[in-house]
Structure 1
Amino acid sequence: MPTYTHTETSFATAWAEWHAAHERHRADPHGFLAVTHLHWLGEEPARLDGVPGTWNVENDAVRLVLADGETLQQDGRELNADGGATVLFGPIAERGGVNLAAGDTVVELAKRGGEYIVRPRHPENPLLREYTGTPAYAPDPAFAVDGTFVPFDEPRPTTVGAAVEGIQHVYEAPGQVRFRLGGKDVTLTAFNGHAPGSLSVLFTDETSGKTTYAANRSLTIAAPGADGTVHLDFNRAVNLPCAYTDLATCPLPPAENRLPVAVEAGEQTPTERQEA
């Protein structure tokens, strides 16, 4: 029977609690697993599967025409209260968006790669309804390491590819994260994270396309200390939406962010992709 130290047990327990919370968030009734369609809007008015109205783009804004009997709500407000309406949205900032409601469906209107998209999300989408969880490596403290954040003199706009052809994403890279893993000194270009001061890295490694999703994984890093110290826990590396569905526009890692080691930690290839 294996024996564990108190520290190892606490580490594993903290990881299990974190991953359970992450899985609950992923399985939100209107999260990305609920996306049923991905519509790219153009200048010509068009009706969209799964969404009321006629949609098109005019002068960097989206024009929505709702016919009599069609309904959408925004922040609880009926957009077609008078029986027929024309509504303009935008301009919307890159990676921004608004959520509308049509019954049980949340309709996401967003801008990705400079283009406007509409993605309906329904809680009865089979991908969500049949989701049973994401496999992951057992937590291993060896993949939780300290490193150093080295800021650039000025943040660098960094262009990366996307999970869908024809678009690119541009992120602001404030600097690099340097650390040692698997006996090798490595460096990752970091982007700004969601929380103020935090960082986010997109990466691949020697497990990519084998036990982990081929295109990318993501790791959030807490804000660096005053001396630039950062902590990277690759046990908390997660899949992006494109690992589960082709209806996602996820960014790909910068070319320099392929780690020359096997990061046998964090989330593995989703069951849905293994079966595919």
Structure 2
Amino acid sequence: MTDASDQWEQWHERRTETVSAPYGPLALTGTHWLADYPDGRIPDIPGSWAADGDAVVPTVATADGPTVDGRPLDGRVRLEADTGPVESARVALGGRRLVVLVREGVWGVRDHWSVPGRFAPYGESRTGRVPNADGRSRGLALAGERVFELGGERRTLKAARQPDGRLWAVFAESTSGDGGFRFRFLYAEAPDAEGLTTVDFNRAQLPPCAFADHFVCPFPPPGNTLGLAIPAGERTLL
């Protein structure tokens, strides 16, 4: 390749890494302006949130799960706008980061998320037959399950192991097919020695058959349809 091509490839790789980082732009699932929620109830975020002069004041019970500065939040706290990187936001909710921001005097909360998980390998590979996009059924070899917590519940995704050690899951969720494609692929780096991995739905991607009918893609195996919405990652064709 020419020097110009080399430089472009390097730029493209850096750009891809940046936008798909655990708390990069693809991790943003919503920006909620408090003025739009006079009752203080932001969708899918526990507690009541209100602007109060130069701060945002959430009122949250410990049972709801958020932490502030690493400590459980129970009651009220005043939060100024976060100024650092997303991962250092003061409010966390499991793998999510709730970033307080202000624009021209209007306060809001941004919701970023990334979910830690663990890979539980099967004793030996299990092959099941699943429908494919071309209407035929084919074998899909599964190496184990990615176990994680989301929406207050323990969840699992059956996953195959790629030749390079990465994990690959085919999944659907409650909004699949509702304005988006019917299922998606989710890859993850190889788990570490303790089986730890990241279930980063910000990196969920449309399968090749979303772009052309000539591709053969497996549908999600039984158990890989999640009963909640995953509003992250690639969802629709542009």
Match of 1:18 among 16, 19, 42: 16
SS where residue 256 of structure 1 aligns?
coil
| Residues 1:266 and 2:233 are matched in the alignment | yes
| Residues 1:156 and 2:126 are matched in the alignment | yes
Structure 2 runs not aligned, ≥5 long: 1-11, 29-94, 97-112
Equivalent AA in structure 2 for residue 254 of structure 1 = P
| Displacement of 1:201 | 0.4
Map Cα deviations across residues 106-160 of structure 1 (whole Å, 9 max, x no partner): xxxxxxxxxxxxxxxxxxxxxxxxxxxxxxx842373311111111111111221
Q: Is contact 1:15-1:139 (8 Å) kept?
A: no
| Displacement of 1:228 | 0.9
Other-structure match for 1:92: none
| Displacement of 1:163 | 0.5
Q: Is contact 1:199-1:221 (8 Å) kept?
A: yes
SS where residue 156 of structure 1 aligns?
strand
Map Cα deviations across residues 4-57 of structure 1 (whole Å, 9 max, x no partner): xxxxxxxxxx999227999xxxxxxxxxxxxxxxxxxxxxxxxxxxxxxxxxxx
Match of 1:213 among 172, 181, 189: 181
How many correspondences in the alignment?
141
Structure 1 runs not aligned, ≥5 long: 1-13, 23-136, 272-276
Give the TM-score normalised by the residue count of structure 2. Answer: 0.54
Q: Is contact 1:193-1:220 (8 Å) kept?
A: no
Equivalent AA in structure 1 for residue 237 of structure 2 = P
Other-structure match for 1:233: 200
Label 1:248 to 1:170 Cα distance change in 2 as closer, same or farther (>3 A): same
- Looking at structure 2, the residues matched to 222 and 261 of structure 1 have their Cα atoms a distance apart, in angstroms, of 24
SS where residue 176 of structure 1 aligns?
strand
- Looking at structure 2, the residues matched to 15 and 231 of structure 1 have their Cα atoms a distance apart, in angstroms, of 20
| Residues 1:173 and 2:171 are matched in the alignment | no
Give the TM-score normalised by the residue count of structure 1. Answer: 0.47
Label 1:221 to 1:229 Cα distance change in 2 as closer, same or farther (>3 A): same
| Residues 1:243 and 2:210 are matched in the alignment | yes
Match of 2:224 among 253, 257, 260: 257
- Looking at structure 2, the residues matched to 15 and 234 of structure 1 have their Cα atoms a distance apart, in angstroms, of 20
Q: Is contact 1:139-1:265 (8 Å) kept?
A: yes
Matched-pair identity in %: 34
SS where residue 171 of structure 1 aligns?
strand
Superposed, 1:70-149 pairs within 5 Å as: 138-140=26-28, 142=96, 143-149=113-119
| Residues 1:200 and 2:168 are matched in the alignment | yes
- Looking at structure 1, the residues matched to 205 and 14 of structure 2 have their Cα atoms a distance apart, in angstroms, of 14
Q: CA RMSD in A?
A: 2.7
Label 1:19 to 1:261 Cα distance change in 2 as closer, same or farther (>3 A): farther
Map Cα deviations across residues 72-97 of structure 1 (whole Å, 9 max, x no partner): xxxxxxxxxxxxxxxxxxxxxxxxxx
Question: Could you say which structure has the larger radius of gyration?
Answer: 1
Other-structure match for 1:191: 160
- Structure 1 runs (4+) deviating above 4 angstroms are 19-22
